[in-house]
């Protein structure tokens, strides 16, 4: 029989002895009354990009969905299983969140692989199929002459956020609420190396840095 990862056991014990005592009443309230977060975050699976840590969020404050490259697929009611779409439906129609944030980040492995057309992508695996959602974005934002790979990947990472925001608007339940002013969509970008955060300015299409203080 395999043993549970020791680092998780140690982490839980630290949580139980240090953090839980200060938040026990909050957990009890969440247990009794249910969750009611106002913000949904769609982030990447990348272990370096934790929305709870980046936004210093407590229990019950964020409804989070993470996948490879923080992508939102277009609305596709085809009878198949769609995890991201199901989470969106739950967040919007059941929890009635007021904000949806698409959180992109630097050094995204999935987007770098797409830009280079390299491993771990291949025509027959799950990652390749998933990343193909960005092929139109890649085609519309080809690598410029003399643009180095790092700059190209960074530009593509940010364009991917905009693509996901556009795809969000293909969901009827989201489009209606946005048009009625009851739901707001946001794009953000996290710089792993420096812990920096930039927010997408809809008017200019540029990401503007958020001051740390």
Q: What DSSP string runs through the chain?
A: -PPPPHHHHHHHHHIIIIIHHHHHHHHHHHHHH----SEEEEEE--TT--HHHHTT--TTSEEEEEEGGG--PPP--SSS--HHHHHHHIIIIII--SEEEEEEESS-HHHHHHHHT-TT--TTSHHHHHHGGGHHHHHHTPPPTT--HHHHHHHHHHHHHHHHHHHHTTSHHHHHHHHTTS-EEEEEEEETTTTEEEEE-TTT--EEEPP--
97 pLDDT above the threshold of 90: yes
pLDDT tens across 190-210, in order? Answer: 999 999 999 999 899 999 999
Same domain (yes/no): 30, 58: no
Same domain (yes/no): 50, 137: yes
What CATH number is attached to the domain comprising 180? 3.40.1050.10
How much is the pTM?
0.94
Same domain (yes/no): 137, 165: yes
Please tell me the total count of domains within the chain: 2
Average of per-residue pLDDT across 42-59: 97
Maximum distance among all alpha carbons in the chain? 58
Same domain (yes/no): 65, 28: no
Same domain (yes/no): 22, 70: no
Out of 14-28, 90-104, 113-127, which region has the weakest mean confidence (pLDDT)? Answer: 113-127
120 pLDDT above the threshold of 80: no
Same domain (yes/no): 126, 157: yes
Same domain (yes/no): 30, 40: no
Give Cβ neighbours of residue 20 (< 8 Å, ≥ 6 apart).
27
pLDDT band at 57 (very low <50, low <70, confident <90, very high): very high
87 pLDDT above the threshold of 80: yes
State the residue range of the domain holding 178.
36-209
Same domain (yes/no): 171, 201: yes
113, 120 Cβ separation under 8 angstroms: yes
Same domain (yes/no): 1, 42: no
178, 100 Cβ separation under 8 angstroms: no
Same domain (yes/no): 26, 45: no
213 pLDDT above the threshold of 90: no
What is the chain's mean pLDDT, rounded?
A: 94
Same domain (yes/no): 103, 183: yes
**Alpha-carbon torsion 148, 154, 156, 159, what sign?**
negative
99, 73 Cβ separation under 8 angstroms: no
Same domain (yes/no): 123, 161: yes
179 pLDDT above the threshold of 70: yes
């Amino acid at each position: 029989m395999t043993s549970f990862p020791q680092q998780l056991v140690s982490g839980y014990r630290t949580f139980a002895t240090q953090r839980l005592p200060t938040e026990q009443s909050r957990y009890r309230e969440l247990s009794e009354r249910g969750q009611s977060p106002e913000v949904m975050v769609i982030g990447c699976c990348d272990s370096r990009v934790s929305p709870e840590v980046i936004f210093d969020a407590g229990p019950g404050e964020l409804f989070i969905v993470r996948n490879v490259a923080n992508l939102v697929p277009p609305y596709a009611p085809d009878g198949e299983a769609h995890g991201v779409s199901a989470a969106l439906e739950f967040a919007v129609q059941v929890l009635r969140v007021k904000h949806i944030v698409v959180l992109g980040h630097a050094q995204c492995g999935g987007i770098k692989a797409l830009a280079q057309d390299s491993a771990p992508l291949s025509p027959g695996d799950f990652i390749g199929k998933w990343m193909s959602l960005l092929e139109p974005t890649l085609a519309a934002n080809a690598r410029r002459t003399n643009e180095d790979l790092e700059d190209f990947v960074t530009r593509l990472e940010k364009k991917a956020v905009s693509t996901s925001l556009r795809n969000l608007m293909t969901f009827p339940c989201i489009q209606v609420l946005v048009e009625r002013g009851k739901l707001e969509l946001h794009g953000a970008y996290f710089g792993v190396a420096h812990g920096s955060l930039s927010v997408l300015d809809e008017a200019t299409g540029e990401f503007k840095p958020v001051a740390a203080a």
